[in-house]
Structures are given as C-alpha cells and as structure tokens.
C-alpha cells in the first residue's frame, strides 16, 4: 500500500484520500493486521508461535515477543491516527489528484483483500490443526 501510494512520510500517507480514495479505509485495517490484533489475520501466526513456546515452558521469548508487538502496535496506531484523524477528507487545501491523474491498475490487491477477509472465519480451525 505504501509503495502503491509512493508515500515516504506520514504527511504523504495522510493525503492518500486525495490520490486514491478507495485506499483510505484499507490503510488502518492493514496496519492493525500487521500489529496483530485478534480479529485480523496477523494475530493467528503470533498466537501460534507464542502458544508453541509456552507449551515448551519457554516464557522469556513469548514475553519479549509480546512486548515488541505492543511497541509495533503503538507505532501503527500513531500512523492510523495521523492518516485518518488529523487530516480530514473535507479540507480544501489540496487539489483533488484522483480526478486528474490515472494510477496504474493493481489487479491482485482487491483479490487478496477479499481472500484474507474470507479466511478470517476459518482461522480457529487452522489453529486447531497446527
């Protein structure tokens, strides 16, 4: 998403609604999935790894992993705050780029987003198999 938008700073990331309006609601959900929140797909691998470490009576590594995850989640929440709350889509300071420029098509992005959303209900079953 960052490469598609070619944003390198938080300010450019907060102006994504101006360039790609359909990408604006996907940024928070993607960042929260990277942070590993429970209803999203990024939580399942972290949960499986922490569960295996606790089964092997190794508690130091899962504690370090959970602490680092909290730091990552704090960073991602700050990015979400700066992209969605601080700069409202109704401000008229910036020219509406999405009306004038044509971006290159991304055929796989909508498919992958739909696939990960459809796989959410079977994630407990996948965890049970592991």
Which tens digits make up the pLDDT trace of 46-66? 888 889 999 999 889 999 988
Tell me which residue range forms the domain holding 37: 2-129
Compute the distance between CA of residue 71 and CA of residue 91 in angstroms, rounded to an integer. Answer: 31
Which tens digits make up the pLDDT trace of 64-109? 988 988 888 898 888 888 777 665 555 555 555 555 555 666 788 8
pLDDT of 35 above 70: yes
Look-up: residue for tokens 């979400």?
80
CA angle at 56 for the pair 62 and 36, rounded to the nearest 5°: 30
pLDDT of 20 above 70: no
Amino acid 102: pLDDT: 56
H, E, C per residue of the chain:
CHHHHCCCCHHHHHCHHHHCHHHCCHHHHHHHHHHCCCCCCCHHHHHHHHHHHHHCCCCHHHHHHHHHHHHHHHHHHHHHHHHHCCCCCCCCCCCCHHHCCCCCCCCHHHHHHHHHHHHHHHHHHHHHHC
The predicted model scores a pTM of: 0.54
Which tens digits make up the pLDDT trace of 113-128? 888 888 888 888 888 8
Query: Terminus-to-terminus CA distance in the chain, angstroms?
Result: 30
What is the number of structural domains in the chain? 1
């Amino acid at each position: 998403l960052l490469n598609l938008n070619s944003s390198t700073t938080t300010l450019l990331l907060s102006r994504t609604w101006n360039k790609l309006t359909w990408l604006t609601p996907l940024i928070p959900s993607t960042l929260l999935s990277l942070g590993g929140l429970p209803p999203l797909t990024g939580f399942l691998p972290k949960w499986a790894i922490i569960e295996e470490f606790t089964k092997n009576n190794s508690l130091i590594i899962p504690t370090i992993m959970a602490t680092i995850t909290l730091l990552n989640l704090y960073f991602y929440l700050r990015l979400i705050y700066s992209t969605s709350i601080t700069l409202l889509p109704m401000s008229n300071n910036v020219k509406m780029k999405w009306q004038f420029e044509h971006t290159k098509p991304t055929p796989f992005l909508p498919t992958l987003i739909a696939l990960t959303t459809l796989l959410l209900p079977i994630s407990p079953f996948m965890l049970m198999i592991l």
